A and B are shown apart, each in its own frame.
Chain A
Amino acid sequence: MQRSRRAMKLFSSVDSTAFASILVVLVFTVWVFQGMSYNPHQSVSVDVPKVSHPVAMRGALREDAMKVSILRDGQVYFGGDRVWSGDLVQKIQDRLKDRDVERKVYIMADMRARWSTVKMVLEGVRSAGIIRVAFLADQRRVPSLTR
């Protein structure tokens, strides 16, 4: 009996430490990339409005998408750069020099931002020659106050 137990120990086994190391690296890589894709507005935090029937905006995930963020206090960002009302037109026109860029502006406005600020941004977008805009929004999970 003693002899057969000792013989069992002779079987080879897979050293899974290397496999575990590769998995740890993969998990961290995916985690880091996920974090980067979640925050496309580089430290600009905006509470987007919640609506019942938003549509998918695949173009907003493109790296070259023109994104304007409007904060609650009225600050406006083009991509990650702070802009003032006069600069926005020029910034958009500079980006439009690239023929491949989509002629649509994605606006990420805070739900509590005043409409006057959003209107000012829309004026800038219109002056730059763009007609199509898209407001980023989240899916509403609870009933609206106005319903």
Chain B
Amino acid sequence: MAFAMGGGGARGPQINVTPLIDVLLTLIIMFMLVVSMDKEHGEVAQIPQPPKDGKSEPIIERTVVIEVVWTAKGQVPTVKINRGDVRWEDLQDQLTKIYLTRAEKVAFVRGDADVDFQYVADVIDRAHSAGVTRIGLLTQDRMVAGE
């Protein structure tokens, strides 16, 4: 750091850099805070693998399949639990009720081709909130054992 002596002869006017330093220190602290706070968030799911060697899937009783059914363009799709219609606002409560007494908290999610991804993400989110720990995404148009 350089030091200047005040009595070193005639000097011209100088810019006061102290406020600039204050602003820069504030900026750098803000940037560092924003970077440390920035985290990716999301929803975890799994893709069930088809049975190997043509063996039939083990029969799982009381399998829960949540379906997102396309209705019309620009309309909110409907949602079903095991083919039974459920209102969106009741979905989480219904799932909480179903999984309250279950040890295995697994659900499957299936969607129609034209449904916006937002609705499927919403279903995954609500299922997680209702206590479902593992969500399987059904990518093939096949039935799940026990459905």
Could you tell me the dominant secondary structure of chain B's interface residues?
A: mixed
B31 touches A27 (CB 8 A): yes
Inter-chain contact B88/A17, CB cutoff 8 Å: no
In the complex, chain B residues whose CB is within 8 Å of the CB of A19: 1, 21
CB distance from A52 to the nearest CB of B (A): 6
Cα distance, A130 to B114, chains bound together (Å): 25
Docked pose: A85 CA to B18 CA in angstroms: 58
Q: What separation, in Å, do the CA atoms of A24 and B27 have in the docked complex?
A: 10
Assess the B35–A115 pair: CB atoms within 8 A: no
A residues less than 8 Å from B95 (CB atoms): none
Q: Which residues of B contact A49 (CB under 8 A)?
A: 117-118, 121-122
> Is there contact, CB below 8 Å, between A131 and B35?
no
User: 1/0 contact trace for A13-33 toward B, CB 8 Å?
Assistant: 111111110011011001101
Q: Is residue A37 within 8 Å, beta carbon to beta carbon, of the partner chain?
A: yes
Across the interface, B40 reaches (CB within 8 A) one of A61, A115, A119, A126, namely A61
- 1/0 contact string of A25-66 vs chain B (CB within 8 Å): 011001101100110000000001111111111101100000
Instruction: Give, as a whole number of angstroms, the nearest-CB distance from A115 to chain B.
Output: 4
Nearest B-chain residue to A20, judged by Cβ: B17
- A128 CB, min distance to chain B CBs, angstroms: 10
A38 touching B1, Cβ below 8 Å: no
Question: Which residue of B28, B34, B49 is within 8 Å of A23 (Cβ)?
Answer: B28
Chain A residues numbered 1-15 whose CB sits less than 8 Å from any CB in chain B: 9-15
Give Cα distance in the complex from A81 to B31, angstroms.
29
> Closest CB of chain B to A87's CB: distance in Å?
18
* Known pairs A12-B3, A106-B42, A147-B89; A26 contacts B125 (CB<8 A): no
Closest chain B residue to A145, Cβ basis: B76
B143 at the interface (CB under 8 A from A): no
Given A53-B129, A114-B116, decide whether A137 and B42 contact each other with a Cβ distance below 8 A.
Answer: yes
In the A-B complex, the 3 residue pairs with the smallest Cβ-Cβ separation, listed nearest first, are A146-B88, A116-B113, A54-B41
The 26 listed contacts between A and B (C-beta, < 8 Å) are: A9-B7, A13-B4, A18-B2, A20-B20, A23-B25, A26-B24, A27-B27, A30-B32, A34-B31, A48-B42, A49-B121, A51-B125, A52-B129, A109-B121, A115-B112, A115-B113, A118-B117, A118-B120, A122-B47, A134-B42, A135-B42, A136-B40, A137-B125, A139-B41, A144-B122, A146-B88
